[in-house]
Amino acid sequence: MLNRKSVYTSKFVTVYEDEVELPNGKILPDYTVIEKPDIVMIVATDNKNNIIILKEYKYAVNEYLFTLPAGHKKKDETAIETAKRELLEETGYAGEKYEDLGILYDYPSKDCHKVYIVSALNINKEADITHEETENLSFQKISLDTLKKQFQNKEWRSSSAIAALTLAGILN
């Protein structure tokens, strides 16, 4: 990056206009980059291999989409700490074991935020649900067979959720 100018900032996103030099030497004077908070997405299963899925309203596309429990990662939290907090808040469930599965990027050409993927195993109901004001969602536990049928029917369209399920080995 040769130069960076912030053109818009909110609590959800910062938009920059960068002047960049590409590896081939070409200079682009107005390359847009978006910075959003990092998130943690949770692949949560119980001891019978049922998985928690969400159906959540996504304003930008004006649709309810199938997805997985997820939330913003605080700077001072590990991915597993965020996963524990968000899973409990969104579903009331907690896992007996958590595993950090890796990091994904949704759109690394223009967006630099990270999507941490965590599995929560042997989940059990432990608390009431506490949704944030921006969340409009419902959740359910379904069998892996039902999940795979949903994929065959092309009912899932959230790329980060599909990638998380693939990384967790669920769609193999």
Please give the mean pLDDT across all residues of the chain.
93
The CA dihedral of 144, 115, 79, 140, to the nearest 10 degrees, is -30
Please say whether the dihedral angle defined by the alpha carbons of residues 144, 146, 148 and 150, taken in this order, is positive or negative.
negative
User: Is-contact 95 67, C-beta < 8 A?
Assistant: no
User: Is residue 78 located within the same domain as residue 116?
Assistant: yes
Task: Identify the CATH number of the domain in which residue 66 sits.
Answer: 3.90.79.10
User: Is residue 66 located within the same domain as residue 113?
Assistant: yes
User: Is residue 55 located within the same domain as residue 95?
Assistant: yes
Confidence of residue 171 (pLDDT cuts 50, 70, 90): confident
User: Is residue 98 located within the same domain as residue 66?
Assistant: yes
Q: How big is the chain by its Cα radius of gyration, in Å?
A: 18
Per residue in 44-79, pLDDT (tens digit) is: 999 999 999 999 888 899 999 999 999 999 999 999
